[in-house]
Amino acid sequence: MASVILRNLTKSFDGAARPALRELSLEVRDGEFLVLLGPSGCGKTTALRCIAGLDEATEGEIHIGERDVTRLPPAARDVAMVFQNYALYPHLTVRENIAFALEVRRVPRKEILRRVSEAAQRLGLAELLERRPAQLSGGQRQRVALGRAIVRAPQAFLFDEPLSNLEAPLRSELRSEILKLHRALGATMIYVTHDQVEAMTMGQRIALLYEGRLRQLGTPAEVYARPADVFVARFVGSPGMNVLHGRGRAVEEGGSVVECGSLTVPVPLEHYEGEIELGVRPEHVTLGATEKGVGNAEILIVEPHGAETLVHLDAGGQTLVARLPGLLELRVGDRVGVKLDKRHFHFFDASGARLA
Amino acid sequence: MRTVPRWRAAALLAAAASALLALAVARWAAVRYEAAFARRSAATTAAYLALVTPPAPLGADYSLQQLFIQTRSLDALPGWTPSVEVYHGTAPLLQPGAPPLSRLVLDRLRGQSGASWGRGVALAPLFDRDRWEVVGAVAIRPAGIAPGWLGGWTLPALALFAAAALGALRAVGGEWERVRRALRAYGAAGVLFGAAAYANVQQAARASTDQWLADARLLMQESSARLPQGRPTLADLAPLAGGAQVAPGDSATTRPTRQSVGGVPSAVVEVRLSSRRWVELRTAPAEAGAPPWLALLLALALIGPLAAWVAVWVEREAARPQRLRETAAAWWFLAPATLHLAVFSFAPILLAVYASVHRWSLVEPERPFVGLANFAQLVRDPVVWISLRNTALYTLTVPVTMVVALGAALALGRRSWAARLVRTAVFLPFASSVVAVALVWQWMYHTDFGAINWMLSLAGVGPVDWLGNPNTALIALMIVSLWVQAGYQMTVFLAGLQAIPRDYLDAARVDGAGAWRRFRTITLPLLKPVTLFVFVTGIISSFQVFTYVYVLTGGGPGHATDVVAHQLYQAAWTFLQFGSASALSLLLFVVLFGATWAQLRLLERRVTYD
Amino acid sequence: MTKAGERLAIGLALLATLAMVLPFLYMLATALTGEWEAFRYPPALIPARAHLENFPAALTALPFDRFFLNSAILATCVVVGQLFTSATAAYAFARLRFPGRDRLFLCFLSVLLVPALVLLVPRFLIVNALGWVDSYAGLISTELVSVWGIFLLRQFFRTIPRELEDAARLDGAGEWTIFRRVVLPLSKPALATLAVVAFVDQWKSFLWPLVIARSTEMQVVEVGLANLHGLYYANWPYQMAAAVTATVPLLLLYLVAQRYFVRGIEMTGVT
Ligand SMILES: Nc1ncnc2c1ncn2[C@@H]1O[C@H](COP(=O)(O)OP(=O)(O)OP(=O)(O)O)[C@@H](O)[C@H]1O
Ligand SMILES: [Mg+2]
């Protein structure tokens, strides 16, 4: 097991206009479960492939454990990767699939047998060893892929959206299985996903990537509670944070107000003047009678979820979402008063960076 | 990167090696021509001495005194350049103090017919009057044939080459645009240098022919002056000419010139034997055989630039070892196919071009350069035109077959077992032996006992001599071709039809379009690439038809079924004229180029769209 | 379709089948006829007695056993050679990244620009210079690479998911191992197609063996058949017996491997 350290990793593909990764610096601790999270096309796969050595870094360094592996071929890096589409060898049986890496590395027969059956035991594949990938269900296939990875006992595991081809129930089952593996092996794992539920529930820390840049690195709680910028704020949480665009204005009695659309929000900022982004999570928005609260808004959409109801509002051109407990009787088109919980405000400057 | 200096040093070494090798090879080639001149000249001189020296009173040997006089007078000949020594037995005549010839050398001269070369001297045996016994030797030390190591333009070219090499190596690792410019200049300097070195070789080759012609001319004229009237006869002069031709000539220039004699470039000089007697001395010009040296010298001179290019590339890629590894792996994988294509596909094309401008027969050792004579001969040959016309007519089978095949494909596209059976049957001819098919058709075409004429007779049509009648022979071949190709084309069309989405046709059906309309407006346009492919490949392959012609008609009757491939086969393997067969190949290439180009474009589209 | 139209279609199909199959039946019938019986008018499709002795007689008139051996050697060696050279080159083109790859591939494709007939004479000169005329080396060497095969396999290899190779790479496999143990096993259908097409092409090839094989021992079946035609010009039963024998291996291969045959043709024209 080993730590994985990226230093100023930049990757430009030949012929691409923008680099897929820009100066990515990241330290994954020994034995950590780190989730790489970001929207589609942000460079998650590219980062993983660079770590694995499948793509060559244009600039920067990659260290695994004590070694600088930047210029080493994939085989010499001693990492295992699990792919979204499983990438099982279709012409080999499950047993041969799992044994392939050991065979290529000329591990003695007996040793191979022992390690394959051990991996199969651990993943509940013992019955399936003689089948071919085509005769397996999606979940079983991904288990085989996991087996192929753990049988090598690599320095680090890389997962590239391993569950996104699976149905929801299977997904949560495999999620806990991967976490169990992580605990049992104590291995360093880097897990790529664009699904934030996965990220929040699995990651010890989350690295948020956007347009090839690292936006925030922290525990799920940190990322949720103190998003580093507007992008992170909007991306994390479902639905994401409401970010209202407005102008700050100092008022006589101290503090400031932010005017955004039809809302005028008093904020605990000293004499703020100018453009500002005001963030507030949907659960911190409540509705009341008109003229109560910070302003009025029109109801656009009502999404009853059972335990809660999501209400999409239009406040003078600014849309925001409120998450309200229980099933509510609300009519689209009605005007309501909006209340915001000022203890949970987030402020970002015009460029999107967090204020204070 | 630490690797840069190492690669740069290697490239520098390569530059030096490249220059030295090119110079050495050029020098070596020039000396070879010099030696060729000296050997020829020695033989001619020996023949001259044998002709003009009066015999000794007894036996066939020469009078020593006369031999001495004749030899001495050679130096007095105006225009005579080489330095000569004659040995009588082993004793030198002109410089009595010089070391004698070793017996061994003389014995070796006895054993061989021509002259030998060693240590800058050519030695030719001196035969006695009866041309039987070797009584001595003539030694020739040539002068002024081969340019020096750095003669001609070599020195400035070398300086340029060195400067470009240093410039390129200095640029390594620098800004890419500059590196590229420097490399390009280096390459150009390499080409120039190679060309300059070749110029020396070419000059030596030319000089060796010219000098020999001039010397031989002098000796012939001198012999005519020394011999009584009416001599020397042409037969007398033949030994002086060695392998060259002596023909009656007329007065013209007395300097060696280049002329085309019967389509073959020759080096010619006029020899005046007496006031009204001229003969012409003709020989193959040595420089006609020089071009291969150009290829070699250019290759050698380009080693340097190539090495620099590799150095630049490796230096650039050193930062990406992965890519370097992948490139190396790729070349291992590509090596077998690439080498094979180089030897058996690309080299043959160059060789065809080369052979087409030479008279090249497997049985004659000489392969003189003939310019475009082979092509001229082809164009003038009516049979070539007939074969071209027949081939063009034969390709008319392609559209006809296509109509039949497309019809079959449309009718048999269904999934029923009957359709499958018929498809299998239609494909059978293409899947079977070509010669077997040709034979059974020949049997069916038999005038008296063939099945076809029998069937025709049922319809009241008289017996047709299918393959013996010039009017029907080609058509008979075309029918066979149609019969064979229909199955193949049908299969391609079927695949094309299957690739058309059913939705289109169903939509049209819903719109109320009839079968014919659906075919015209949907199937046919969507089938266009496939149709084009079938057409183009059909044309290309039917232009090369050979087996049916060879087996069924042999090109006859008359030349009624003679096609290009058959002409080519005959030119090469019946008449052994590989030069003109190559010319015909190239002609075919040109004729077919449009079609093959279209084929490549079709392929290219599939490459880029996948 | 209307009833009448259907009948017409069936009739035409029957006619087509007949036209395609009859010559083969005629070949077989004549092969079983006595030498003089063949010259009978009107011709009979069914001989009075099956003259099976025509076969041994025709096949020993020239050493056809040797010819078959030669054809088999030629076709087999070429198949093996083409599979190897095409697969390796195609792998490099489909999967490895190296500078100048696409240009080199176009350069390979440009060989298709040169009709085979154009290469005939200069290839012969080269083989002659190598001293390989009238030898297996001469017969086989020029055919060992097929640009079409490279093209076909390259297209196929590109359909194999890249992740498989990436997975193998991480598993510690080198390029050769990936090629041997992942790509080749997954390409069996394409390899089989290439093999069948190459085999049939070589079995049917005529002109090159005609000019390369000088001695009788080096002839292939097709050329041997043509020579038999020259020697026994008037003996049609002999010729037909030999023709039947020459065709049978190909027809058997066709019936067994029809799928690959057809796919090979489809791949040339469509895909
Ligand atoms: N081989 C390639 N050549 C050129 N550009 C590439 C290549 N691979 C990826 N890219 C580009 O790099 C960027 C990042 O791609 P990447 O696959 O890493 O995204 P991702 O975060 O994994 O997205 P997804 O969630 O959709 O898998 C994208 O803009 C993509 O277009
Ligand atoms: Mg991805």
Min distance B342 CA to chain C CA atoms (Å) = 10
Mean pLDDT for all residues in chain A: 90
| Residue B600 CB partners (closer than 8 Å, separation 6+) | C109, C110, C112, C113
Domains, in order of start, for chain B: 350-380 (no CATH), 390-579 (1.10.3720.10)
For the cut 70, the answer to whether the pLDDT of residue B607 exceeds it is: no
> Do B42 and B216 touch, CB atoms closer than 8 A?
no
> Do B308 and B4 touch, CB atoms closer than 8 A?
no
Quick: pLDDT tens for B467-505: 888 888 999 999 999 999 998 899 889 888 888 888 887
Residues on chain A touching C184 (C-beta within 8 angstroms): none
Min distance A270 CA to chain B CA atoms (Å) = 53
Q: How far is the CA of C103 from the centre of ligand 1 (A)?
A: 26
Q: Report helix, strand or coil for C77.
A: helix
H/E run at residue B301: helix B291-301
The rounded distance, in Å, linking the Cα atoms of A107 and A96 is 14
CA B209 centroid distance within chain: 23
Ligand that lies nearest to the alpha carbon of residue A213, given by its number in the listed order: 1
**Beta strand pairing status for A156-160 and A79-82?**
parallel
**Beta strand pairing status for A156-160 and B257-261?**
unpaired
- Cis upstream peptide for A239 (omega within 30°): yes
Decide if C254 and B426 are in contact by the 8 Å CB cutoff.
no
Nearest atom within ligand 1 for CA of residue A48: 18
Read off the tokens for B481: 């071709």
For the cut 60, the answer to whether the pLDDT of residue C39 exceeds it is: yes
| Residue B379 CB partners (closer than 8 Å, separation 6+) | none
Other CB atoms within a 10 A radius of the CB of residue B321 amount to 14
Q: Poorest-confidence range of A10-24, B3-17, B347-361, B388-402?
A: B3-17
The rounded distance, in Å, linking the Cα atoms of C225 and B585 is 27
Q: How far is the CA of A191 from the centre of ligand 2 (A)?
A: 11
Asked if C124 is an interface residue toward chain B (Cβ–Cβ < 8 A), one would say: yes
The rounded distance, in Å, linking the Cα atoms of A35 and A51 is 14
For chain B, percent of residues with pLDDT exceeding 90: 20
Tell which of C28, C108, C117, C254 to mutate to test the B interface (max B CBs under 10 Å): C117
H/E run at residue B451: helix B451-458
DSSP 8-state code for residue A68: E
CA distances from C93 to B92, B314, C101, C113, C168 (A): 71, 21, 7, 19, 19
pLDDT band at B456 (very low <50, low <70, confident <90, very high): confident
pLDDT given for residue B397 in this prediction: 93
Phi, psi (deg, nearest 5) at residue A92: -115, 150
DSSP 8-state code for residue B99: P
For the cut 80, the answer to whether the pLDDT of residue A305 exceeds it is: yes
Q: Poorest-confidence range of A154-168, A282-296, B252-266, B390-404?
A: B252-266
Nearest atom within ligand 1 for CA of residue A194: 25
pLDDT band at C271 (very low <50, low <70, confident <90, very high): very low
DSSP 8-state code for residue B463: P
Q: How far is the CA of B533 from the centre of ligand 1 (A)?
A: 37
Q: Is C57 left (phi over 0), alpha (psi -120 to 50) or beta?
A: alpha
pLDDT given for residue B251 in this prediction: 67
Top mean-pLDDT range of A246-250, B195-199, B249-253: B195-199
A:40-59 residues touching chain B, CB 8 A cutoff: 53, 56
Q: How far is the CA of A210 from the centre of ligand 1 (A)?
A: 12
Asked if B2 is an interface residue toward chain A (Cβ–Cβ < 8 A), one would say: no
Tell which of A51, A55, A71, A77 to mutate to test the B interface (max B CBs under 10 Å): A71
User: Tokens 């000169």 correspond to what residue?
Assistant: C125
Q: Which of A53, A87, A148 sits opposite C163 (nearest CB)?
A: A87
pLDDT given for residue B610 in this prediction: 44
Residue nearest atom 22 in ligand 1 by C-alpha distance: A45
Residues on chain A touching C171 (C-beta within 8 angstroms): 75, 100-101, 104, 148, 152
Asked if C220 is an interface residue toward chain B (Cβ–Cβ < 8 A), one would say: no
Quick: pLDDT tens for B499-551: 888 888 788 888 877 778 888 888 888 888 888 888 888 888 888 899 999 99
| Residue A250 CB partners (closer than 8 Å, separation 6+) | A256, A270, A271, A272, A273
Does ligand 1 have an atom closer than 6 angstroms to the CB of A22? no
Q: Report helix, strand or coil for B135.
A: strand
Q: Report helix, strand or coil for B31.
A: helix
For the cut 60, the answer to whether the pLDDT of residue B608 exceeds it is: no
Please give the CATH superfamily to which domain C23-269 belongs.
MetI-like (1.10.3720.10)
Residue nearest atom 1 in ligand 1 by C-alpha distance: A13
**Which residues share a beta bridge with A258?**
A248, A265
For the cut 70, the answer to whether the pLDDT of residue B60 exceeds it is: no
User: Tokens 């003229």 correspond to what residue?
Assistant: A291
pLDDT band at B230 (very low <50, low <70, confident <90, very high): low
The rounded distance, in Å, linking the Cα atoms of C211 and B550 is 13
Other CB atoms within a 10 A radius of the CB of residue C119 amount to 22
Report the side by side order of strands in the sheet with A263-267: A263-267, A256-260, A242-250, A274-280, A346-348
Mean pLDDT over B191-199 rounds to 92
**Which residues share a beta bridge with A277?**
A245, A348
The rounded distance, in Å, linking the Cα atoms of B165 and A188 is 52
Q: Report helix, strand or coil for A180.
A: helix
C-alpha atoms less than 13 angstroms from C-alpha of C118 in its C-beta half-sphere: 26
Q: How far is the CA of C220 from the centre of ligand 2 (A)?
A: 56
User: Tokens 């006859």 correspond to what residue?
Assistant: B556
Tell which of C78, C120, C229, C260 to mutate to test the B interface (max B CBs under 10 Å): C120
Read off the tokens for B96: 């009595």
The rounded distance, in Å, linking the Cα atoms of B459 and B461 is 6
The rounded distance, in Å, linking the Cα atoms of A61 and A82 is 23
Does ligand 1 have an atom closer than 6 angstroms to the CB of A104? no
Question: Interhelix angle for A138-150 vs A168-185, to 10°?
Answer: 10
Residues on chain C touching A83 (C-beta within 8 angstroms): 163, 166-167
Min distance A113 CA to chain C CA atoms (Å) = 17
Residue of chain B nearest C149, judged by CA positions: B337
Q: How far is the CA of A20 from the centre of ligand 1 (A)?
A: 7
> Do B123 and B41 touch, CB atoms closer than 8 A?
no
Q: How far is the CA of B480 from the centre of ligand 1 (A)?
A: 56
Provide the number of CB pairs (under 8 Å) joining chain B to chain C: 300
Q: Which of C41, C141, C247 sits opposite B433 (nearest CB)?
A: C247
Mean pLDDT over B274-288 rounds to 82
Other CB atoms within a 10 A radius of the CB of residue A71 amount to 17
Quick: pLDDT tens for C67-80: 999 999 999 999 99
> Do B450 and B559 touch, CB atoms closer than 8 A?
no
pLDDT given for residue A32 in this prediction: 93
The rounded distance, in Å, linking the Cα atoms of B103 and A298 is 125
Report the side by side order of strands in the sheet with A21-28: A21-28, A4-11, A59-64, A67-68
> Do B62 and B56 touch, CB atoms closer than 8 A?
yes
Question: Given ligand 1 and candidates A42, A83, A193, A215, which is best to mutate, with the most ligand atoms within 8 Å of its CB?
Answer: A42
| Residue B126 CB partners (closer than 8 Å, separation 6+) | B46, B49, B50, B86, B87, B88, B134, B135, B136, B137, B138
Decide if C261 and B495 are in contact by the 8 Å CB cutoff.
no
- Cis upstream peptide for C56 (omega within 30°): no
More confident residue, B111 or A240: A240
Residue of chain B nearest C152, judged by CA positions: B607
ipTM here: 0.91
pLDDT given for residue B502 in this prediction: 82
Does ligand 1 have an atom closer than 6 angstroms to the CB of A194? yes
Q: Poorest-confidence range of B117-126, B351-360, B439-448?
A: B117-126
For chain C, percent of residues with pLDDT exceeding 70: 95
Amino acid identity for residue B160 in this structure: L
Quick: pLDDT tens for C185-202: 999 999 999 999 999 999
Min distance A4 CA to chain B CA atoms (Å) = 20
Question: For the range B526-529, what are the long-range contacts, defined as Cβ-Cβ under 8 Å and sequence gap of 24 or more?
Answer: B526/B500, B527/B406, B527/B493, B527/B496, B527/B497, B527/B500, B529/B496, B529/B602, B529/B605
Residues on chain B touching C24 (C-beta within 8 angstroms): 428, 432, 440
For the cut 90, the answer to whether the pLDDT of residue A34 exceeds it is: yes
For chain A, percent of residues with pLDDT exceeding 70: 100
Quick: pLDDT tens for B421-449: 888 888 889 888 999 999 999 988 888 87
Q: Which of C17, C30, C120 sits opposite B443 (nearest CB)?
A: C30
Ligand that lies nearest to the alpha carbon of residue A47, given by its number in the listed order: 1
Q: What is the largest CA-CA distance in chain B?
A: 119
